[in-house]
Structure 1
Amino acid sequence: MKILLVRPPRIKQAITLSDFMFSEPLGLEMIYGVLKENHNVEIFDMMIETISLKDKIKLCSPEAVGITSLCIDVNKVLDLCIEVKNEDDQIHTIVGGTQAYLNSEAFFHDAVDHIFEYTNEENLIELYERLAQGSMRSKIDGIRSKEFGYASTRKKGRYAYMLPDRSSTEKYRREYSYFGYRPAAIMEFGVGCEKACDFCLRWRIEGYEEGLIDPELTKRDMAQIKEPTIMMMDNDFFASEEKVKAFLSLIRGMGIKKNFIVYGSVKGIILYKNAIKEFVECGLKAVLVGYETFKDTELADYRKKSTIEDNYKAAGILRELGVDVWASFMAHPDWDANDFSALRRYIKSLKPQITSISPLTPFPNLPMYKKYEDRLLYNAKDYEKWSFGQVMIRPSGMSLRRYYWELLVTNLYVNIFVNKKTEMIDRYGLMNIIRIFTGSLKAFNKYISLMIKN
């Protein structure tokens, strides 16, 4: 069977970090890896491609088109499915990805034939075998099919981490990057997160229980990565000392020499300083740290397991070890101008290399959605607004326009006065810095547009 796997194009009006962190479509690479033995499969990355899906279909004549999705992609994915059906209504349309897992009902549409609630080797192989044979026969666990009224078998499951085929995106790989590191690959070493922060979707997707991916799968995956940099996408790479040491043992045993970037918790940085020091010797270059706020009360509300003083300790440890810190913060909807000013002072005192500030976003699948439901500026079906960059909760301490102004001023401040430009140029090269600066300008322009609009 001829299968085209599609990543949708960027949503132009969305404010996201895709201009700074542009990763490969790992889920599609996994699906490719499972299906390639028995099917003719191709990945079509519309974030890079310049031709339309319609033109691609004319060129390759697929029998099935599978499209991945994030929350903001719902309308675009439906448009793409309609485009496929308009070109040839005999082509099977299949939707999967994060949004299909969190809210499969968003894709109940006549142009969508099948929806993956979750994906594993068994249901992938089963669906495409049945499609090739021309008969569905019955429902499949984890898949909602139009011919069965999108009914579920009610068997619960989660996305499986399967061995990706990195060669499937060979023609795109030079474009994939993480801030100044380009090209860069992404992979996962462990799944789940016991911290269960109140604003985070990851643990709801991967589960509360933490565990390591099969080490043999990890070795096979690591061995095929050609890029000099790997972003480890674990929700908290420093979940335990045993986890860090297991990874170090694996890469030392394989003789891997790479730049590594990880997400790391403040508590993990403090508790496992010695293991992190070993990791630095093996290539750790940067840690993405969610400091989130400058108020202990808000950290407690978010169910973070750290304090403001812990943030300072973690920042000092990473500075001492020579590791770059990419800090993230969430602007609370109840902040006033003094709070934004305090945030700027706090960021300056932490001295991160890179900083991002986004408005608190209470996704419909999170408990805090109910808390702020009566203050939401958009409803749950305004999918393209839910991008982490746009203000979703009506501010209580100032007008919406002033709130956007404070966000803009704060982002300008950290980019001009806090982020370590000289160090970045020395480490990443001038062209990468220009690319990041261009991405920053896009975000600033969007904030100015929203400020004027509101």
Structure 2
Amino acid sequence: MRVLFVHPGPLMYSEVYLRLEPLGMERVAQAVRAAGHEVRLLDLQTFGLADFARELKEFQPRAIGFSLNYLANVPEVIDLAKSVKQQCRDSFVFVGGHSASFIADELLEHGAGAIDAVLRGEGEIATPLLVSAIEDGGLDKVPGAVTAKGRGPAPVLLESLDKFPPARDLLARRRRYFIGVLDPCASIEFTRGCPWDCSFCSAWTFYGRSYRMASAEAAAEELAAVAEPNVFIVDDVAFIHPEHGYAIGREIERRNIRKQYYLETRADVLIRNQEVFAYWKKLGLRYLFLGLEAIDEEGLKAHRKRSSTGVNFEALEIARKLGIHVAVNLIADPGWDAARFAVVREWALAIPEIVHFTVATPYPGTELWLTESRKLTTLDYRLFDIQHAVLPTQLPLFEFYERLVETQRVIARKHMGAQAMRDAAGLILRLALKGQTNFARSIWKFDRVYNPQRQFADHQRPVAYTIRPPRPPGAAPRDPAQLYVHPRREGAKRQAPIADLGQAPV
């Protein structure tokens, strides 16, 4: 069967800071290809709608699968699904991905017949079964499948991350992917899942608190096949198990793999396992992303980070000593006033690290979605992108965006202003000589992308599809099991013990 997988277009954040390859879609594509089907990929982050129309006409796929990891892409995916049904009436259209897993019934309702199925949970096992069921029947038996007629069995986790390496050969325009100065940049996955339960995050509810690791041999083999000189390790928390990081590193050394790396981790993990990060610095680790989220104890408690300001600041000191560049994320609460913005801005300017801001956003699948008592001020999916305020703001909305953007601009000037440009001129020139201009273009885009007029105007756009609001807190008793996409397997044996995680639930 001919199967086309489509990733939707870029979001606001990715217009400036990064554009990542659709790794999950590539892995699912490999699983479907391994089942004997003819597969193509199209990423609308780097291609346009004309390319999509041409692909439909030339390839004539029997099945089209849309990747929907971000809630803000919902209207785009629904409209694309409807356009497919107009052009290819007999095609089977399905949607999968992280966000899709939490709003499956909504997608079917909005699709009004244009979406034949939504696939909840991980896709590597279920998607080949779904594709086979299109012709053979039995959609109701596919794990995670949701159709107008009902739901199949619970989603099934992929037992081994080694099994389906991403089908990178199917994805064109790979040099368009980057993260900061790592241009171009591929992505890779060493682990999947997270044992922490931050209230704003849905990784733990999606994976049912499972945590799996690729074998060191498979991870290094995949890494050796990556053509790009830079690699983003997409793990939710890198090197929770230091022995896993060492094992992969030894395989990298044995194969003489030379790359530069960017990864994400937690402050407490960096402190506990700083030796493995020092080891990876020698292997090429250049950038490290730390989601500090708050600069005070009250904020950390609200986000249930299970950390402290002392731990966070110690982690920053360790990264500085290791010579690893750090990007920090803070969550801007809509309840901030002018004084709070000033305090945070002063703190961010006082440290050498890059500081990014995201806006506190309750997402379906997060505990915050069920417990946040402030009423949503919008039901427009497109604004659920952690760059817009969807909760009531203490300041008038336009002023909130003015304060937010000014804070971002002042901080960004340290790293993306005229002096930074002069300092980075050599790097920009070297990249340009290789045909790489993603990083340079991102610097010039900042003022156009981040401005209060644009963000405020986004609230005034006509809304075609609205998100189902959560039930009011206390309206009905909640079954904790309903939080999870993949059922939590009580007592299931992990691949390795998570040693000394402090207060983190396991």
Shared topology, TM-score over 0.5? yes
Alignment counterpart, residue 165 of structure 1, candidates 167, 191, 194 = 167
Secondary structure of 1:226's counterpart equals coil
Distance apart, 1:52 and its partner CA: 4.6
Distance apart, 1:424 and its partner CA: 4.6
Structure 1 stretch 156-165 or stretch 323-332: which is displaced more? 156-165
Query: RMSD between aligned alpha carbons?
Result: 2.3
1:341 & 1:8 partners in 2: Cα distance?
36
Check the 8 A contact 1:192/1:211 in 2, yes or no.
yes
How many residues are treated as equivalent by the alignment? Answer: 441
Check the 8 A contact 1:144/1:150 in 2, yes or no.
no
1:343 & 1:43 partners in 2: Cα distance?
42
**2:94 aligned residue:** 94
**1:62 aligned residue:** 61
Matched, 1:185 2:196: no
Q: Deviations over 1:217-236 (max 9, x none)?
A: 32332232111111001111
1:138 & 1:57 partners in 2: Cα distance?
24
Check the 8 A contact 1:361/1:393 in 2, yes or no.
yes
**1:230-241 residue pairs with structure 2 within 5 A?**
230-241=231-242
Secondary structure of 2:336's counterpart equals coil
**1:48 aligned residue:** 46
Matched, 1:25 2:18: no
Change (3 A) 1:441 1:257: same
**1:441 aligned residue:** 447
**1:384 aligned residue:** 382
Distance apart, 1:394 and its partner CA: 0.9
Change (3 A) 1:202 1:410: same
2:234 & 2:309 partners in 1: Cα distance?
25
Q: Deviations over 1:327-377 (max 9, x none)?
A: 11111222221111111111122211x321121111132222244343321
**2:364 aligned residue:** 364
2:43 & 2:51 partners in 1: Cα distance?
11
Q: Deviations over 1:164-198 (max 9, x none)?
A: 111111x2111011112111111111122122211
TM-score for both structures, normalised by structure 2 = 0.81
Alignment counterpart, residue 450 of structure 1, candidates 446, 449, 455 = 455
1:208 & 1:423 partners in 2: Cα distance?
44
Structure 1 stretch 114-123 or stretch 330-339: which is displaced more? 114-123
Matched, 1:35 2:32: yes
2:76 & 2:348 partners in 1: Cα distance?
36
Secondary structure of 1:59's counterpart equals helix
2:238 & 2:299 partners in 1: Cα distance?
24
Change (3 A) 1:209 1:93: closer
Q: Which amino acid aligns with 2:404?
A: L
**2:85 aligned residue:** 85
Alignment counterpart, residue 115 of structure 1, candidates 118, 133, 146 = 118
**1:309 aligned residue:** 310
1:417 & 1:257 partners in 2: Cα distance?
30
Change (3 A) 1:203 1:402: same
Check the 8 A contact 1:166/1:224 in 2, yes or no.
no
Identity %: 22
Check the 8 A contact 2:398/2:456 in 1, yes or no.
yes
**1:5 aligned residue:** 5
Structure 1 stretch 281-290 or stretch 360-369: which is displaced more? 360-369
1:213 & 1:394 partners in 2: Cα distance?
42
Q: Which amino acid aligns with 1:306?
A: S
Structure 1 stretch 240-249 or stretch 357-366: which is displaced more? 240-249
1:86 & 1:432 partners in 2: Cα distance?
35
**2:154 aligned residue:** 155
Q: Which amino acid aligns with 1:335?
A: W
TM-score for both structures, normalised by structure 1 = 0.90
Check the 8 A contact 1:315/1:350 in 2, yes or no.
no
2:89 & 2:116 partners in 1: Cα distance?
11
Higher relative contact order (CA closer than 8 Å, sequence separation 6+): 2
**2:268 aligned residue:** 267
Q: Deviations over 1:298-354 (max 9, x none)?
A: 1112111322222222112111211111111111222221111111111122211x3
Structure 1 stretch 267-276 or stretch 318-327: which is displaced more? 267-276
1:311 & 1:427 partners in 2: Cα distance?
31
Check the 8 A contact 1:6/1:46 in 2, yes or no.
yes
Change (3 A) 1:302 1:425: farther
2:77 & 2:94 partners in 1: Cα distance?
10
Check the 8 A contact 1:360/1:388 in 2, yes or no.
yes
Alignment counterpart, residue 392 of structure 2, candidates 368, 391, 394 = 394
Task: List alignment gaps of at least 5 residues for structure 1.
Answer: none
Change (3 A) 1:339 1:215: same
Secondary structure of 1:211's counterpart equals strand
Check the 8 A contact 2:139/2:145 in 1, yes or no.
no
Check the 8 A contact 1:184/1:227 in 2, yes or no.
yes
Q: Deviations over 1:364-400 (max 9, x none)?
A: 3222224434332113xx211110100111123x222
Matched, 1:205 2:202: no
**2:175 aligned residue:** 174
2:51 & 2:413 partners in 1: Cα distance?
38
Change (3 A) 1:416 1:260: same
Change (3 A) 1:329 1:213: same
Distance apart, 1:294 and its partner CA: 1.6
**1:129 aligned residue:** 132
Distance apart, 1:274 and its partner CA: 2.1
Distance apart, 1:428 and its partner CA: 5.5
1:243 & 1:428 partners in 2: Cα distance?
35
